[in-house]
Protein backbone atom coordinates (compact mmCIF):
# COMPACT_ATOMS: atom_id res chain seq x y z
CA UNK A 1 0.00 0.00 0.00
CA UNK A 2 1.19 3.50 -0.72
CA UNK A 3 2.19 5.38 2.46
CA UNK A 4 0.17 8.38 1.25
CA UNK A 5 -3.32 7.32 0.10
CA UNK A 6 -6.12 9.87 -0.21
CA UNK A 7 -9.63 10.19 1.19
CA UNK A 8 -12.35 11.84 -0.85
CA UNK A 9 -12.82 15.49 0.10
CA UNK A 10 -16.05 17.45 -0.13
CA UNK A 11 -15.45 20.07 -2.80
CA UNK A 12 -11.66 19.80 -2.69
CA UNK A 13 -8.96 17.79 -4.35
CA UNK A 14 -8.03 14.57 -2.49
CA UNK A 15 -5.78 15.07 0.49
CA UNK A 16 -2.84 12.96 1.50
CA UNK A 17 -3.20 10.85 4.64
CA UNK A 18 -0.82 8.75 6.62
CA UNK A 19 -2.84 5.53 6.52
CA UNK A 20 -6.24 4.08 5.74
CA UNK A 21 -8.76 3.84 8.60
CA UNK A 22 -9.71 0.18 8.78
CA UNK A 23 -12.42 0.35 11.41
CA UNK A 24 -14.41 2.98 12.69
CA UNK A 25 -18.43 7.86 13.01
CA UNK A 26 -21.25 10.40 13.16
CA UNK A 27 -22.15 14.10 12.87
CA UNK A 28 -21.42 17.56 14.28
CA UNK A 29 -23.96 18.67 16.88
CA UNK A 30 -25.80 21.72 18.13
CA UNK A 31 -24.40 25.16 18.88
CA UNK A 32 -21.02 24.16 20.25
CA UNK A 33 -21.46 20.40 20.32
CA UNK A 34 -20.24 17.75 17.99
CA UNK A 35 -21.95 14.39 18.06
CA UNK A 36 -22.08 11.09 16.24
CA UNK A 37 -24.43 8.13 16.46
CA UNK A 38 -23.68 4.57 15.46
CA UNK A 39 -24.57 1.00 16.37
CA UNK A 40 -22.05 -1.68 17.29
CA UNK A 41 -22.31 -4.91 15.32
CA UNK A 42 -23.95 -7.82 17.06
CA UNK A 43 -22.43 -11.30 16.70
CA UNK A 44 -25.62 -13.19 17.54
CA UNK A 45 -24.92 -16.92 17.34
CA UNK A 46 -27.89 -19.26 17.98
CA UNK A 47 -27.38 -21.41 21.03
CA UNK A 48 -24.39 -19.48 22.35
CA UNK A 49 -24.89 -18.21 25.89
CA UNK A 50 -24.29 -14.50 26.30
CA UNK A 51 -25.18 -13.52 22.75
CA UNK A 52 -26.49 -9.96 22.75
CA UNK A 53 -30.29 -9.60 22.79
CA UNK A 54 -31.90 -7.91 19.82
CA UNK A 55 -32.12 -4.14 20.53
CA UNK A 56 -34.61 -1.73 19.08
CA UNK A 57 -33.64 -0.27 15.73
CA UNK A 58 -31.93 3.09 16.05
CA UNK A 59 -34.31 6.09 15.89
CA UNK A 60 -33.89 7.87 12.61
CA UNK A 61 -32.46 4.77 10.96
CA UNK A 62 -34.29 5.72 7.78
CA UNK A 63 -32.06 8.79 7.50
CA UNK A 64 -29.06 6.51 7.47
CA UNK A 65 -30.41 4.33 4.69
CA UNK A 66 -27.64 4.15 2.12
CA UNK A 67 -28.90 4.44 -1.44
CA UNK A 68 -27.64 3.19 -4.78
CA UNK A 69 -24.16 1.79 -4.37
CA UNK A 70 -24.02 2.69 -0.69
CA UNK A 71 -22.72 5.40 1.62
CA UNK A 72 -20.22 7.94 0.31
CA UNK A 73 -20.68 11.20 2.25
CA UNK A 74 -21.98 12.16 5.67
CA UNK A 75 -24.73 14.77 5.06
CA UNK A 76 -23.33 16.72 8.01
CA UNK A 77 -19.67 16.28 7.09
CA UNK A 78 -17.10 18.99 6.47
CA UNK A 79 -13.92 18.84 4.36
CA UNK A 80 -13.71 15.06 4.18
CA UNK A 81 -17.25 14.08 3.33
CA UNK A 82 -17.11 10.55 4.75
CA UNK A 83 -16.33 11.90 8.24
CA UNK A 84 -17.31 11.80 11.07
CA UNK A 85 -17.05 8.00 11.23
CA UNK A 86 -18.55 5.55 12.01
CA UNK A 87 -22.11 6.66 11.42
CA UNK A 88 -25.58 5.19 11.08
CA UNK A 89 -25.84 7.27 7.91
CA UNK A 90 -23.83 4.42 6.39
CA UNK A 91 -26.55 1.87 7.12
CA UNK A 92 -29.85 0.69 5.75
CA UNK A 93 -32.79 -0.83 7.57
CA UNK A 94 -32.85 -4.64 7.61
CA UNK A 95 -35.43 -6.55 9.64
CA UNK A 96 -33.21 -9.63 9.43
CA UNK A 97 -30.31 -7.95 11.22
CA UNK A 98 -30.02 -8.29 15.02
CA UNK A 99 -29.55 -4.51 15.25
CA UNK A 100 -32.22 -3.67 12.67
CA UNK A 101 -29.50 -2.23 10.42
CA UNK A 102 -26.94 -3.34 7.85
CA UNK A 103 -23.86 -1.38 6.91
CA UNK A 104 -23.92 -0.42 3.22
CA UNK A 105 -21.00 1.63 1.92
CA UNK A 106 -19.54 2.44 -1.47
CA UNK A 107 -15.88 2.24 -2.37
CA UNK A 108 -16.40 5.80 -3.64
CA UNK A 109 -16.12 7.04 -0.04
CA UNK A 110 -12.38 6.86 -0.78
CA UNK A 111 -10.76 8.59 -3.72
CA UNK A 112 -10.01 6.64 -6.91
CA UNK A 113 -6.30 7.14 -6.19
CA UNK A 114 -6.61 5.34 -2.86
CA UNK A 115 -8.89 2.59 -4.15
CA UNK A 116 -6.36 1.83 -6.89
CA UNK A 117 -3.80 0.95 -4.19
CA UNK A 118 -6.09 -1.35 -2.20
CA UNK A 119 -6.62 -5.05 -2.81
CA UNK A 120 -10.29 -5.93 -3.21
CA UNK A 121 -10.53 -7.44 0.28
CA UNK A 122 -9.28 -4.20 1.85
CA UNK A 123 -11.74 -1.86 0.17
CA UNK A 124 -14.55 -0.29 2.23
CA UNK A 125 -17.41 -2.31 0.76
CA UNK A 126 -15.56 -5.58 1.30
CA UNK A 127 -14.79 -4.73 4.92
CA UNK A 128 -18.13 -3.31 6.02
CA UNK A 129 -21.00 -4.34 3.76
CA UNK A 130 -23.48 -6.75 5.29
CA UNK A 131 -22.30 -6.32 8.88
CA UNK A 132 -24.90 -5.39 11.48
CA UNK A 133 -22.92 -2.43 12.82
CA UNK A 134 -19.43 -1.17 13.55
CA UNK A 135 -16.39 -2.34 15.47
CA UNK A 136 -16.75 -2.48 19.28
CA UNK A 137 -13.16 -1.26 19.54
CA UNK A 138 -13.51 2.04 17.65
CA UNK A 139 -12.04 4.44 16.86
CA UNK A 140 -14.56 7.22 16.50
CA UNK A 141 -13.14 9.95 14.26
CA UNK A 142 -14.05 13.65 14.18
CA UNK A 143 -12.59 16.27 11.85
CA UNK A 144 -11.91 19.95 12.59
CA UNK A 145 -10.94 22.87 10.35
CA UNK A 146 -7.98 24.19 12.30
CA UNK A 147 -5.30 23.38 14.90
CA UNK A 148 -6.65 22.26 18.27
CA UNK A 149 -5.52 22.96 21.81
CA UNK A 150 -4.26 19.46 22.44
CA UNK A 151 -4.46 19.77 26.21
CA UNK A 152 -8.17 20.58 26.02
CA UNK A 153 -8.87 17.21 24.42
CA UNK A 154 -8.20 15.54 27.76
CA UNK A 155 -10.63 17.62 29.82
CA UNK A 156 -13.33 15.40 31.38
CA UNK A 157 -16.20 16.89 29.36
CA UNK A 158 -14.48 17.74 26.07
CA UNK A 159 -15.39 14.39 24.55
CA UNK A 160 -18.29 12.31 25.87
CA UNK A 161 -19.62 9.00 24.60
CA UNK A 162 -23.05 7.84 25.75
CA UNK A 163 -24.88 4.55 25.54
CA UNK A 164 -28.03 5.79 23.78
CA UNK A 165 -30.26 3.20 25.45
CA UNK A 166 -29.14 3.72 29.04
CA UNK A 167 -27.79 7.28 28.89
CA UNK A 168 -24.66 6.13 30.72
CA UNK A 169 -21.25 7.53 29.90
CA UNK A 170 -18.59 5.25 28.49
CA UNK A 171 -15.00 5.42 29.71
CA UNK A 172 -12.94 6.62 26.75
CA UNK A 173 -9.52 7.75 25.63
CA UNK A 174 -9.34 10.68 23.19
CA UNK A 175 -6.31 11.49 21.08
CA UNK A 176 -5.25 14.24 18.70
CA UNK A 177 -4.34 13.31 15.16
CA UNK A 178 -3.70 14.84 11.75
CA UNK A 179 -5.73 13.30 8.96
CA UNK A 180 -4.08 15.14 6.12
CA UNK A 181 -1.44 17.59 5.08
CA UNK A 182 -2.98 20.01 2.61
CA UNK A 183 -2.22 23.72 2.54
CA UNK A 184 -5.63 24.45 1.02
CA UNK A 185 -7.64 22.36 3.48
CA UNK A 186 -5.86 21.93 6.82
CA UNK A 187 -7.49 19.21 8.85
CA UNK A 188 -7.12 18.08 12.44
CA UNK A 189 -8.72 15.06 14.03
CA UNK A 190 -9.85 13.74 17.37
CA UNK A 191 -9.87 9.97 17.61
CA UNK A 192 -11.82 8.30 20.41
CA UNK A 193 -11.45 4.76 21.73
CA UNK A 194 -13.41 3.02 24.49
CA UNK A 195 -11.28 1.96 27.45
CA UNK A 196 -13.37 -1.21 27.48
CA UNK A 197 -14.91 -2.33 24.20
CA UNK A 198 -18.35 -1.01 23.27
CA UNK A 199 -21.12 -3.50 23.97
CA UNK A 200 -22.36 -5.58 21.07
CA UNK A 201 -25.73 -4.53 19.69
CA UNK A 202 -25.84 -1.20 21.52
CA UNK A 203 -26.10 2.25 19.95
CA UNK A 204 -23.77 5.07 21.01
CA UNK A 205 -23.74 8.84 20.68
CA UNK A 206 -20.36 10.60 20.74
CA UNK A 207 -20.32 14.26 21.72
CA UNK A 208 -17.73 17.02 21.61
CA UNK A 209 -18.55 20.03 23.79
CA UNK A 210 -17.27 23.57 23.96
CA UNK A 211 -14.63 22.38 26.43
CA UNK A 212 -12.66 21.43 23.34
CA UNK A 213 -10.77 24.49 22.09
CA UNK A 214 -8.89 25.56 19.02
CA UNK A 215 -5.23 26.48 19.42
CA UNK A 216 -6.15 30.15 19.94
CA UNK A 217 -8.42 29.24 22.87
CA UNK A 218 -11.73 29.72 21.06
CA UNK A 219 -14.36 26.95 20.98
CA UNK A 220 -14.52 24.64 17.99
CA UNK A 221 -16.61 26.41 15.33
CA UNK A 222 -20.22 25.64 14.62
CA UNK A 223 -20.98 23.25 11.79
CA UNK A 224 -23.32 25.06 9.42
CA UNK A 225 -24.82 21.88 8.00
CA UNK A 226 -25.86 20.71 11.44
CA UNK A 227 -27.31 24.07 12.45
CA UNK A 228 -29.32 24.07 9.23
CA UNK A 229 -30.53 20.55 9.98
CA UNK A 230 -31.59 21.38 13.53
CA UNK A 231 -33.53 24.45 12.42
CA UNK A 232 -34.74 22.98 9.14
CA UNK A 233 -38.07 21.64 7.97
CA UNK A 234 -39.53 19.59 10.86
CA UNK A 235 -40.84 17.11 8.28
CA UNK A 236 -37.33 16.51 6.92
CA UNK A 237 -35.85 13.14 7.96
CA UNK A 238 -32.47 14.80 8.48
CA UNK A 239 -33.95 17.45 10.80
CA UNK A 240 -35.85 14.77 12.71
CA UNK A 241 -32.65 12.76 13.07
CA UNK A 242 -30.63 15.76 14.29
CA UNK A 243 -33.30 16.78 16.80
CA UNK A 244 -33.57 13.23 18.11
CA UNK A 245 -29.83 13.19 18.78
CA UNK A 246 -30.10 16.61 20.44
CA UNK A 247 -32.82 15.26 22.72
CA UNK A 248 -30.67 12.26 23.66
CA UNK A 249 -27.83 14.58 24.61
CA UNK A 250 -30.16 16.67 26.80
CA UNK A 251 -31.67 13.59 28.46
CA UNK A 252 -28.21 12.43 29.48
CA UNK A 253 -27.74 15.61 31.53
CA UNK A 254 -25.44 17.41 29.10
CA UNK A 255 -26.56 20.92 28.21
CA UNK A 256 -27.02 21.00 24.39
CA UNK A 257 -26.15 24.72 24.47
CA UNK A 258 -22.56 23.76 25.23
The string of pLDDT tens digits covering residues 17-32 is: 222 222 222 333 323 3
In angstroms, the CA 114 to CA 14 distance is 9
| pLDDT at 162 > cutoff 50 | yes
- Among residues 237, 24, 211, the alpha carbon closest in space to that of 133 is found at 24
For residue 1, the model assigns a pLDDT of 33
pLDDT band at 191 (very low <50, low <70, confident <90, very high): very high
Is 257:210 a contact under the CB 8 Å cutoff? no
pLDDT tens per residue across span 44-53? 433 333 333 3
In angstroms, the CA 215 to CA 231 distance is 29
Half-sphere exposure of residue 255: CA atoms within 13 angstroms, side-chain side: 5
pLDDT band at 63 (very low <50, low <70, confident <90, very high): low
pLDDT band at 37 (very low <50, low <70, confident <90, very high): low
In angstroms, the CA 108 to CA 164 distance is 30
pLDDT tens per residue across span 91-120? 888 888 888 888 999 888 888 888 898 898
pLDDT band at 210 (very low <50, low <70, confident <90, very high): confident
Is 140:208 a contact under the CB 8 Å cutoff? no
CA angle, corner 163, sides to 59 and 51, nearest 5? 90
β partners of residue 204:
38, 163
pLDDT band at 193 (very low <50, low <70, confident <90, very high): very high
pTM: 0.75
What average pLDDT does the structure give for the chain?
Answer: 73
52-to-59, 61, 100 alpha-carbon distances in Å: 19, 20, 13
In angstroms, the CA 203 to CA 167 distance is 10
Amino acid sequence: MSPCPALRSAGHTPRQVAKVPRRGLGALCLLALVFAAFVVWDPVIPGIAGAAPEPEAAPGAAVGAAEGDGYVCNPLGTATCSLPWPTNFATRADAGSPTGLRVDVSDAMFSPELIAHLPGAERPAAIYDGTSGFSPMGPIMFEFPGPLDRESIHRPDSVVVLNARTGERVAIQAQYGELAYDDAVPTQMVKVWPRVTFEFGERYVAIITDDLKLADGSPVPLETKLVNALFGDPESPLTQWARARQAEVATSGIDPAR
